[in-house]
Amino acid sequence: MSLLGEISGIEIIGGVTLGKLLAMILIIAVGIPVAYIVKRISYKALVRFLPKEIAGAVSRIIYYALVVAVVVSGFGTMGVDLTGIVIAGGIMGIILGFALQSITANMVSGLFIFWERPLKPGDVVEIGSVIGRVVDISIMSTKIMGFDGVLVRIPNAKVFDSVIRNYIVAVARRLEFKASIAYHEDAEKAIAVIAEVLDKHPMVLVEPQPDIFVSNLGDSGVEITVRCWVPTSEWYPTLKDLLWKIKKALSDAGIEIPFPQNDVWFRSPLEVRLIGGEQKGQ
């Protein structure tokens, strides 16, 4: 037996030889820097499409998982039986998994939201019944500042499962409203009046062309639907401005905008009595 073999075969304690100890030290000494390098590489790769905090968290998880694997491998070479610890860790993991189910779901959903990018800070969105501007997206939740000034925190799992309407992804947005005119009015004239209002408004886009048409013969009047496209950033001001301008233009053109009306017919003639007189009428 060579000298090296003899030295490595020296037993230190309880069957652990010097060679096995050195092998363990070597595995840990090499494995941990390698895990660190993998962490740095994964961070650089992830930070391209994930926010810094998320990329940092994911790369740290990778790092600690590798460190655990290295340590288990190292002790394994020494003949230390870590099966019990691994099983205990596994059971602990299952328990924690159940206990932290919602947290895990939110974290995973957060990662998918970052991956898919259906919304980003600054976007005006509607998630469920919440409408507002996205102010922050973290790994656990999405914060939305409502137009009423109330900050709403929505867990990412709920965001991920919800229908998300993003109102500012497109540069232009369609605006739609209805105007009603009396039955005796000329609908073609009303359409021409509305078209002129749209034509004069700078924020109503030339293309796509506005669409104005009779859409319904309602209970009280003829309904005219107006559809036009406006710059997304000007959608709300234009909506407020246009509706009133159309109302004024229709009134100026002498076109009656009807109130809801009900004609009531009595099957039997009504008798009218004048108090303090003797006259009777029908």
**Least distance in angstroms from the C-beta of 232 to another protein:** 8
Output 207 or 263, the one with its CB closest to another protein: 207
Does residue 171 bind another protein (CB under 8 A)? Answer: yes
**By CB under 8 A, which span of 126-134, 167-175, 214-222, 244-252 interacts with another protein?**
167-175
Output 136 or 211, the one with its CB closest to another protein: 211
Output 63 or 229, the one with its CB closest to another protein: 229
Cα–Cα separations (whole angstroms), residue 271 to 4, 274, 275, 277: 127, 10, 13, 14
Does residue 173 bind another protein (CB under 8 A)? Answer: yes
Does residue 138 bind another protein (CB under 8 A)? Answer: no
Does residue 182 bind another protein (CB under 8 A)? Answer: no
Pick from 164, 152, 179, 60: which is nearest to 112 by CA?
164
Q: Is 240 helix (H, G, I), strand (E, B) or coil?
A: helix
Whether residue 208 is preceded by a cis peptide bond, meaning omega within 30 degrees of 0, is: yes
Does residue 170 bind another protein (CB under 8 A)? Answer: yes
Out of 79, 97, 146, 208, the only residue in the binding site for another protein (CB under 8 A) is 208
**Least distance in angstroms from the C-beta of 207 to another protein:** 5
DSSP state of 205: -
Out of 77, 118, 120, 234, the only residue in the binding site for another protein (CB under 8 A) is 234
The set of residues, in sequence order, having a beta carbon less than 8 Å from that of 188 and lying 6+ positions away, is none
Does residue 155 bind another protein (CB under 8 A)? Answer: no
**By CB under 8 A, which span of 4-12, 90-98, 101-109, 198-206 interacts with another protein?**
198-206
Between helix 52-77 and helix 101-116 the angle, nearest 10°, is: 120
**By CB under 8 A, which span of 100-108, 170-178, 210-218, 220-228 interacts with another protein?**
170-178
Q: What amino acid occupies position 4?
A: L
**Least distance in angstroms from the C-beta of 163 to another protein:** 18
Does residue 206 bind another protein (CB under 8 A)? Answer: yes
Tokens of 105: 């779901």
Out of 46, 58, 190, 203, the only residue in the binding site for another protein (CB under 8 A) is 203
Q: In what order do the strands lie in the sheet with 130-137?
A: 151-155, 141-146, 130-137, 124-127, 164-166
How far apart, in whole angstroms, are the C-alpha atoms of residue 204 and residue 141? 37
Between helix 187-200 and helix 235-252 the angle, nearest 10°, is: 140
Applying CB under 8 A, the residues found at the interface with another protein are 169-173, 199, 202-208, 229, 231, 233-234
